[in-house]
A and B are shown apart, each in its own frame.
With several copies, the nearest count.
Chain A
Amino acid sequence: MTVTEKEASPATRRLTTSKAMVEGIAQEMERDPSVFVLGEDVGAYGGIFSSTTGLLERFGPSRVMDTPISETAFIGLATGAATEGMRPIVELMFVDFFGVAMDQIYNHMAKIHFESGGNVKVPVVLMTAVGGGYSDGAQHSQCLWGTFAHLPGMKVVVPSNPVDAKGLMIAAIRDDNPVVYMFHKGIMGLPWMAPNPRALAPVPEEAYEVPIGSAAVVRQGNDVTIATLSLSVHHSLDIAEELSAEGIECEVIDLRTLVPLDRATILSSVAKTGRLLVVDEDYQSFGLSGELAAIVAETDPRLLKVPFMRVAVPDVPIPYSRPLEYAVLPTKTRIAAAVRKLMG
């Protein structure tokens, strides 16, 4: 959307997540002429969720291309261009639309390197908007990172804030593998969505990478490990602060990358706290929350002093109507209740 956005003040260099992402893309486009951007409404519009704002003006239509609504063709195009040495950044406007192009994604983009015995590289960044909370209904509100993480051959990164958004974008562009880059609409700092204070933050000017595969402990605590990602990091941090007043100290892990997954950070936190809550805006079953349980259970189930808990979307399509949607989203209320339950 294009409801006017304020310019970031150069003095403080606080950027929204979307501007940080765009800055990362722009710096790589400056550095490497083989980087280009394509997708629906990435040109004049600047990306429906401002993931490409200003790039057309800066780099011109030969490097920033609006496409027809032909996800199979243009995502496949990105794959083919990557096999010939280019470094495309291709946007799938909403992750919910993956089904029209999934064959290109998981049977081609993700597998060609392997099938070629390592002879062909496929450095594509597939960036896509995820998440709900603004009543966009069952076909425009999903996270689906579990679906991508389950299928081999793609790295999957999910930033939660401006600094990681820029650093993971740069790391993704430089990576020689396909990287699925999933950004939550609610953390972009868009002026037309419910504001999130942490969606605006100081961001280094220079190009830098946030390493793919490393989680961040964004809050230390000895009582409960909350492993989470994306928008839910913020809800979890808010609840952690709130419960701190009650004497409950949560350790909050921002997973940042699902593939490869930073098992060590998760395990050492659980070893300390003995309590694990996964907060996940994706569907509950057969996904991220299960994988984290498995990691603990296959290391040592006795690490868990109390049963594992998860706050996720309870295997129901995302409802349109607000009371229903907020009943299935991983809200602060649900997170707080789960932490309290873990503490007995």
Chain B
Amino acid sequence: MDQKIKIELYRTMVLIRSFEEAILRDYHADKKPAWDIGAGLIPGEMHLSAGQEPVAAGICANLSPGDGITATHRPHHLAIAHGVSLKALAAEIFGRETGLGKGRGGHMHLFDPASHFSCSGIIAEGYPPALGQAFAFKWKKTPNVIVAVTGEGAANQGAFHESLNLAALWKLPVVFVVEDNDWAISVPRHASTAIASNAERAAAYGIPGERIEDNNVEAIWRSAKTAIDRARSGEGPSLLEIHTVRLWGHFEGDAQAYRDDLDAARAHDPLPAYEAQLISEGFLDSAQAEAIKEESAAEVEAALSFAKASPLPDAADALRYVFA
């Protein structure tokens, strides 16, 4: 893998982490002393993706203009890696009129038609619309693909099964990705899924399936490339399960009392690990790493400043956009 790609992967991961840390900070900043989920500049549920950056970076580095991605309730890392405007993303999270959905959607409902990005807060239910985007690409005869992402908890939902079957049957240009972060809120994977690897479920649809261990961004990049190339060339869908890590709570405010793997998880933070790898491989030095972090932080702060300076929607417009 050439240096350019490696640095790009690293840069994307850093940018995501910067963003999530900034949101984390601002989310909690004004909820004290009595922590109230509905209060503050950013209200509502907040599902952050720290630890899962390698998935987003590794996949999206293989996407071309016109390709799309469909995410879940935990969508920021994928949106950022896919190139969704940081400003419009932040503004949506802050509920502003300048946001991706003019503040109507919120952090689980991000739609960027320009980059064919979307997400859904309902488990596994992002998959079916992704089939339709793939169908439209096929009909338009553009060589584009859709990557549809869910968590490992979602792999037990009916929509998962129906979507894989239909995509395989119609050879739609989709890559199905399962982010296995070991947990579905408080339920560990072994208490929800009858088998150890969802990659084995690919056989149920006659499509390739692969499980990628260790949250390794380069391995993810390589496998995603194979699957995306395959979809792009008309050979149909693949299923990738990526073992990743949820560093923080399911959502903010989650005390994670149920969790016994927190120390282990923190020891597997992919960011310092990849940084160390690139440094030891000689592709990066600490100064460059610092510079990338600073650039990312600056970009993120600019986006958040933009968001905070943007107007809130006008209550008088509350009934708009129900119908086109």
Contact = CB atoms under 8 A, between A and B. Distances in A.
A and B touch in the complex (CB under 8 A): yes
Given A69-B192, A115-B104, A138 B129 contact: no
A153 B322 CA distance: 5
Given A70-B157, A321-B313, A326-B315, A81 B39 contact: no
Contacts of A324: 103-104, 313, 315, 317-318
Interface string A62-85: 000011111111111111111111
Given A77-B132, A116-B100, A319-B103, A108 B125 contact: yes
A303 interface: no
Question: Most chain-B Cβ atoms within 10 A of its Cβ — which of A43, A107, A135, A152?
Answer: A135
Interface string B164-195: 01100100000000000000111100011100
Contact of A44 (B130, B156, B186, B193): B186
Contacts of A97: 122-123
A143 B48 CA distance: 26
Interface stretch (B55-63, B107-115, B285-293): B107-115
A139 B121 contact: yes
Contacts of A321: 95-96, 103-104, 106, 312-313
A315 B322 contact: yes
A93 B132 CA distance: 19
Contact of A68 (B118, B127, B187): B187
A56 to B, nearest CB: 10
A192 interface: yes
Interface residues of B, number: 84
A86 B128 contact: no
Given A139-B120, A139-B122, A192-B36, A69 B154 contact: yes
Contacts of B43: 134-135, 322
Interface stretch (A1-9, A234-242, A245-253): A1-9
A321 to B, nearest CB: 3
Interface residues on A, range: 35 or more
Interface stretch (A23-31, A117-125, A286-294): A117-125
Chain A interface, >50% SS class: loop
B99 interface: yes
Interface in B78-130: 92, 95-96, 99-109, 111, 113, 116, 118, 120-125, 127-130
Given A67-B166, A137-B108, A321-B96, A115 B315 contact: no
Interface stretch (B11-19, B135-143, B219-227): B135-143
Interface in A247-276: none
A111 B128 CA distance: 15
B44 A77 contact: no
Contacts of B191: 66, 68
B52 interface: no
Nearest to B92: A320
B104 A100 contact: no
Contacts of B153: 68-69
A59 interface: no
A133 B37 CA distance: 10
B147 to A, nearest CB: 13
Contacts of B198: none
Contacts of B313: 319, 321, 323-324
A133 to B, nearest CB: 6
Contacts of B322: 113-114, 152-153, 315-317
A103 B191 CA distance: 25
B133 A118 contact: no
**What are the 9 closest A-B residue pairs judged by CB atoms, nearest first?**
A76-B128, A80-B132, A117-B102, A134-B38, A320-B106, A321-B103, A321-B95, A80-B129, A84-B136
25 contacts: A1-B255, A2-B257, A43-B187, A67-B166, A68-B191, A68-B192, A72-B163, A73-B163, A76-B128, A77-B129, A78-B132, A84-B136, A84-B140, A108-B128, A114-B104, A116-B105, A117-B103, A135-B38, A135-B95, A137-B105, A138-B109, A153-B322, A195-B34, A321-B104, A328-B318
